[in-house]
Chains A and B, each alone.
Chain A
Amino acid sequence: MSALAQATVYGLLQGGLLAMIAVGFSLVWGVMNVINLAHGGYVLLGAYIAWELHAAWGLDPLIGAVTGGLVMFGVGYVVQRLLVNQIVNAPIFLTLLLTFGLQLVLVQGMAVVFSADYRSIATPYASQAFTLQSFGLADVRVPYGRLLAFVVAVLATAALVVFTQRSRTGLAILATGMDRTAARLMGINARHVYALTAGIAAALAGAAGALVGLVGTFSPPDAARFTLLSFVISVLGGLGNMYGALLGGLVLGVVQAWAGQYLPGTWVNAVAFAVLVGVLIVRPAGLAGRAFYEARVEAT
């Protein structure tokens, strides 16, 4: 019983971080109908930035997350404005291709600049844990590093939701996502808004990368894995739905943790995909219900 409780808690914490990795991907897909295959590369780049800051000046990964996020915002904005905006109206294959090429350039570029070494940001507190036993509950250990990542992830997602639903810019993003032509007619600069959205998504990805470095290891081949995860979580949660991404991440984390306890360890990934396919067949709009995507009106 205690093992299951431990697995559940651990899975939840993991899931929060996964959600933060995915929420930007979901946002971009939902608002702009763009699948950014380079998203995993953004996460990785954020991790490297945080690592370099830690190595050079001893900065804690949380500060690295903020810095990485800001830098990645710039990267995402520029990439969207200069590159992806050129083919937004084209069949979706083209954005796939473009971002695929971008992913190759980014990941290989990072391998050349930073080397293919496995990295991790070592902090004295990350692996320490307190145990819920001290609260009178089961003997479940909660590692500080993962707890921190979880809290940051949830806060960032909540902040994103507040931002999009309450601020002018956020509403402009949502509006452009729903009906681009109408938004432009209302005076919204769609090019800028798209670039802003991509920038926010990249910023979250980069910050998530720094947190990944805090709790585990990373190396260039991980970029593809992050992108795949983002795919799964975005669909689980409903495209463009940010609370959905959080929910999707948590569900994925917990399901994988439970699978790891009751099935042989190598079945964990198979379970994740079974869940994905199952959810899609039964409830294509994702777990959180309404998919942003279906509400969109596209001008022909």
Chain B
Amino acid sequence: MTGVRVLAAGAALALVLAGCASKGTQNQTGDTVNLGASMSLSGALEKEGKLTQQGYDYCVSTVNAKGGVPVGGRTLRLNIDYQDDQSQPDTAGQLVDQFNDKGYHLILGPYGSATTGAAMAVIERNGQVMVDSSGADDKLFDRGYRRTFAVLSPASVYAVSIVNAINELATPKPRSMVFLSADDGFSKTVAAAGEARARSLGFSVLPTQQFPAGATDVSSALTRIKSSKPDVIIGSVHLAEGIAIIKQAAELGVTPAGGFAETVAPPTPDFVTTLGTKANGVLSSSQWVPEVKGSDGFFGTATDYRNGFRAAFGQDPEYHNAEATAACLAMVLAVRKAGSTDPGKVRDALAQLDEQSFFGPLKFNDRGENVTKPMSVIQIQNGKLVTVWPADQAAGRLIWPGAGG
């Protein structure tokens, strides 16, 4: 018996050493620029992770079709190595370390604020560089990190844009608003900023109702606000809660005089396909719409991007795709500007980047946030997304009141 046990111990030790002996793939081959991406290929954020991956893939195929990434005097092929972080922040951090081992110093962001936050800490320690495509929580940028740059507008802009749009366009102007917020960090930041803006504009803001992130039953929150009869209900949510709000509001007879608005959820195709006509009239903010102004050498204008994406994937892009492509584009432009793939030089190039693109302006403040780019406000009309604000992007008029199918 003892012999067997010693054998098992030896096997365990051998496993440890054997596992360590696999050192992974070797250094970058000379004619490719390798980017590492920790992605939610499984777990709670799988759907959004796949959208982000699509955006990254589209960037790779387009850039390579145009000859590749110009680095110094040559052009190199672009390639992205994906690893699954299972939507877990600690795994994302570990993956970034593993990318570093492989010699991948240029990293594209994972999906979501929590995973991006974990990756940012590791990036900073290792001296890598990351372009963030979907981590919008302003608190991430309070930490003073210098090596991560976010192409998307920060969380505080999501609901503020909607409030501004309602303030400017809605007639008759609503008097009261209420925020229904999921309790994750991003949603709370969005709601807090939105509330502050609404109050400063003179709207009466009812107490915010919170529910667990990912909840598919928000009936408690809706039942509580029903008797207060708010004019506008703004959901600071993700897809699951967003769908639940509209559905259950219909069930419970909660019909705000002005209408509904939600962050993140409405632009995703599942929202419209799941809710059908009930989705009509819902407002939302988006990081990108096909009416965005600006163009670049790889993707052209926003409309060109939409057409190209449609041809490649058979469906229209939504903003998760676009922000991912934009992040990849920013990295490519920085490498081109730096003339090298050295992380220090690329980092400096990103800090000084000031370019137009299909996504709008790409320019970062000293916290690494892209504050020059506004968010657009859209409304679902007849099952389609119509940009209604700001004025220079508006493709249609705001339908007000928006509530009702």
Contacts and interface: CB of A to CB of B under 8 A. Distances in A.
Interface of A: 2-3, 6-7, 10, 14, 108, 111, 115-120, 122, 127-129, 131, 141, 143, 145-146, 216-222, 257, 259-261, 264-266, 268-269
Contacts of B224: 3, 260-261, 265
Interface string B204-228: 0000011110101111110110110
B243 A265 contact: no
Contact of A129 (B218, B253, B274): B253
Interface in B69-87: none
A45 B223 CA distance: 31
Contacts of B210: 264-266
B212 A118 contact: no
A216 B251 contact: no
Interface stretch (B41-49, B89-97, B106-114, B294-302): B41-49
Given A119-B274, A143-B251, A266 B219 contact: no
B46 A266 contact: no
A95 B212 CA distance: 32
Interface of B: 42-44, 46-47, 50, 183, 209-212, 214, 216-221, 223-224, 226-227, 239-240, 243-244, 247, 250-253, 270, 274-276, 278
B217 A216 contact: yes
A111 B183 contact: no
Given A260-B220, A260-B224, 18 more contacts: A3-B227, A7-B220, A10-B223, A14-B219, A116-B47, A116-B50, A117-B47, A118-B243, A118-B274, A127-B251, A129-B252, A143-B252, A217-B243, A219-B240, A221-B46, A261-B224, A266-B183, A266-B210
Contacts of A127: 247, 250-251, 278
A118 B220 contact: no
7 contacts: A6-B252, A10-B219, A118-B47, A128-B250, A141-B253, A217-B216, A266-B183
B240 A3 contact: no
Contacts of A6: 223, 226, 252
Contacts of B218: 265
B209 A265 contact: yes
Contact of A131 (B221, B240, B253): B253
B239 A118 contact: yes
Given A2-B227, A141-B251, A111 B219 contact: no
A221 B43 contact: yes
Contact of B220 (A119, A128, A257): A257
A111 B46 contact: yes
B220 A268 contact: yes
Q: Which 7 A-B pairs have the closest CB atoms?
A: A260-B220, A143-B251, A116-B46, A127-B250, A265-B211, A116-B47, A120-B274
B223 A122 contact: no
Contacts of A261: 220, 223-224
The B contact surface, by secondary structure, is: helix
Contact of B223 (A7, A111, A117, A259): A7
B362 to A, nearest CB: 30
Given A141-B251, A143-B251, A266-B210, A122 B42 contact: no
Q: Which of A6, A14, A128, A218 has the most chain B CB atoms inside 10 A of its CB?
A: A6
A118 B42 CA distance: 14
Contacts of B221: 260, 265
A145 B247 CA distance: 11
Nearest to A117: B270
Contacts of A122: 274-276
A265 B211 CA distance: 5
Contacts of A257: 219-220
A274 to B, nearest CB: 15
Nearest to B212: A266
A221 B251 CA distance: 25
B274 A146 contact: no
Nearest to A145: B251
A222 to B, nearest CB: 8
Nearest to B276: A122
A266 B239 contact: no
B182 to A, nearest CB: 9
Contact of A146 (B251, B253, B278): B251
B226 A3 contact: yes
B265 to A, nearest CB: 9
Nearest to A3: B223
Nearest to A268: B220
Contacts of A3: 223-224, 226-227
A222 B220 CA distance: 20
Contact of A216 (B244, B252, B253): B244
Nearest to B44: A221
Contacts of B253: 129, 131, 141
Nearest to A55: B273
A261 B247 CA distance: 19
Contact of B243 (A7, A120, A146, A220): A120
A175 to B, nearest CB: 39
